[in-house]
């Protein structure tokens, strides 16, 4: 939880509007064709890095139940579309089939929906959003309205009508975290406003699409604590003129959602901003994902000076942001508010003629 003096996100937003020149790396060369690489046997983050490097985007992830006879490790890619070797236009998406079994079930009717954790492991609810994907009005629900996590056998339940207690169902063997809301903007599963389907995303990745039904049942896969393919840290490397956020792992994502910088620059001291938010970069049309870096990828921030052409370490650049020197956050020590331990951490100021590396909990 951010400390009160850091809850000043609006300050940095104003500064960004007036003082930042945005120079993102955008999709180039559309109309050209490239050869689709073979990503069979790779983890999804590894595949994303290879595809992005070729000028292609990672598309949908389709789950295929893993067994010891699958011939490939669990959580690896067993198929892709378009297939390897095919020529496609730059910027095209490649869908992948991943060897992993469903571990969550949604049970619902027109009044209530229950999410059951059948994984045998803890599921963190940060970054999970349930959303109607058609209909005439938007409706969505963020899973942290239930709790921060679900342990094995726990359930999360939401009602579209007033309720004094949760509904008991056989699949819920442990705690039930529940809420009710009469706000139709949260009724993603009820079919309101002619919606016929809803989706479940986790950290920006679509995990499943379920039909609106009364009653309905839908199974899908969510990442768990023991099968988490993201780094537990954020990596910064910087000189006085520029800073990169870099994914140094070989096979994991670096997730940047909700991780905030505490900027101690005198003009905005104590303000915060989500440094991996695509909005900060102006939502450019990039091949990679700004808030979800694949192995080897980076974001570049500069002070707009002349010595900012090359990142301070080799990396696959996803987006660049040139800051006005008055809001250059690494010119002095800066804070990082972690989403994993809810504690503020501090990185040192840049040192002249030296490279500084700071690794903090994500």
Alpha-carbon gap, residue 327 to 170, rounded angstroms? 55
Whether residue 322 sits in one domain with residue 252: yes
pLDDT at 298: 96
Whether residue 21 sits in one domain with residue 38: no
| pLDDT class of 171 with cuts at 50, 70, 90 | very high
- Among 299, 280, 258, 245, which residue's Cα sits nearest to residue 12? 280
Domain holding 56: CATH number? 3.30.10.20
Whether residue 61 sits in one domain with residue 42: yes
Whether residue 8 sits in one domain with residue 57: no
Q: How many CB atoms lie within 10 A of CB 31?
A: 7
| pLDDT class of 14 with cuts at 50, 70, 90 | very low
Kindly state the percentage of the chain with pLDDT values over 90.
Answer: 66
**197, 220, 243 — which closes off a domain?**
220
Query: What is the torsional sign of CA 228, 233, 234, 238?
Result: negative
pLDDT at 7: 38
- Among 234, 240, 266, which residue's Cα sits nearest to residue 336? 234
pLDDT at 212: 95
Mean pLDDT of all residues in 116-144: 93
Whether residue 213 sits in one domain with residue 112: yes
Whether residue 267 sits in one domain with residue 175: no
Tokens standing for residue 339: 């989403």
pLDDT at 21: 35
| pLDDT class of 226 with cuts at 50, 70, 90 | confident
pLDDT at 168: 92
Mean pLDDT of all residues in 46-64: 93
Whether residue 298 sits in one domain with residue 239: yes
pLDDT at 157: 98
Count of domains observed in the chain: 3
Strand partners, 197: 211
Whether residue 242 sits in one domain with residue 336: yes
The answer, yes or no, to whether the previous bond of 241 is cis (omega within 30 of 0) is: no
Domain holding 148: CATH number? 2.60.40
Mean pLDDT of all residues in 282-290: 91
**53, 79, 99 — which closes off a domain?**
99
pLDDT at 35 over 70: yes
pLDDT at 19: 35
Whether residue 143 sits in one domain with residue 61: no
Mean pLDDT of all residues in 68-96: 94
- Among 128, 130, 131, 166, which residue's Cα sits nearest to residue 148? 128
Kindly state the percentage of the chain with pLDDT values over 70.
Answer: 91
Cα radius of gyration rounded to whole Å, the chain: 22
| pLDDT class of 66 with cuts at 50, 70, 90 | confident
Mean pLDDT of all residues in 75-81: 95
Residues 6+ apart with CB under 8 A from 136: 193, 194
pLDDT at 315 over 90: yes
Alpha-carbon gap, residue 202 to 207, rounded angstroms? 7
Contact 96, 67 (CB under 8 A): no
Mean pLDDT of all residues in 294-303: 95
Whether residue 152 sits in one domain with residue 60: no
What domain range includes position 56?
Answer: 33-99
pLDDT at 333 over 90: yes
pLDDT at 314 over 50: yes
* Average pLDDT of the residues of the chain: 88
Mean pLDDT of all residues in 81-103: 94
pLDDT at 30: 52
pLDDT at 211: 96
> How remote is the C-alpha of 7 from its chain's centroid?
22
| pLDDT class of 31 with cuts at 50, 70, 90 | low
Whether residue 235 sits in one domain with residue 338: yes
**Residues, the chain:** 362
Whether residue 243 sits in one domain with residue 189: no
**193, 220, 247 — which closes off a domain?**
220
């Amino acid at each position: 939880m951010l400390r009160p003096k850091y809850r000043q996100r609006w300050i940095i937003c104003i500064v960004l509007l007036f003082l930042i020149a945005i120079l993102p790396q955008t999709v180039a060369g559309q109309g050209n064709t490239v050869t689709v690489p073979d990503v069979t046997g790779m983890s999804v983050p590894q595949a994303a890095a290879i595809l992005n490097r070729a000028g292609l985007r990672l598309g949908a992830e389709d789950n295929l139940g893993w067994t010891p006879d699958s011939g490939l490790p669990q959580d690896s890619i067993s198929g892709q579309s378009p297939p390897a070797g095919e020529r496609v236009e730059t910027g095209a998406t490649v869908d992948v089939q991943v060897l992993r079994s469903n571990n969550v079930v949604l049970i619902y009717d027109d009044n209530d929906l229950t999410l059951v954790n059948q994984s045998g492991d803890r599921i963190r609810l940060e970054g999970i959003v349930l959303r109607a994907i058609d209909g005439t009005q938007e409706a969505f629900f963020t899973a942290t309205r239930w709790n921060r996590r679900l342990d094995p056998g726990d359930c999360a339940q939401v009602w579209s009508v007033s309720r004094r207690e949760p509904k008991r169902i056989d699949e819920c063997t442990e705690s039930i975290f529940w809420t009710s809301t009469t706000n139709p903007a949260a009724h993603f599963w009820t079919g309101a406003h002619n919606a016929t389907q809803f989706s479940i995303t986790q950290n920006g990745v679509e995990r499943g699409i379920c039909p609106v039904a009364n009653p309905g049942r839908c199974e899908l896969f969510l990442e768990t604590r023991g099968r988490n393919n993201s780094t537990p840290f954020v990596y910064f490397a910087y000189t006085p003129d520029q800073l990169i956020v870099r994914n140094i792992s070989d096979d994991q994502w670096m997730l940047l959602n909700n991780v905030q910088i505490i900027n101690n620059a005198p003009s905005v001291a104590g303000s915060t901003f989500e440094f991996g938010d695509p909005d900060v970069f102006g939502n450019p049309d990039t091949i990679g994902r700004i808030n979800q870096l694949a192995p080897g990828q980076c974001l570049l921030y500069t002070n707009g000076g002349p010595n900012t052409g090359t990142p301070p370490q080799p990396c696959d650049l996803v987006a660049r942001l040139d800051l006005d020197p008055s809001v250059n956050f690494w010119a002095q020590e800066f804070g990082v508010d972690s989403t994993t331990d809810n504690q503020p951490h501090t990185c040192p100021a840049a040192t002249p003629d030296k490279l500084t590396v700071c690794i903090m909990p994500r």
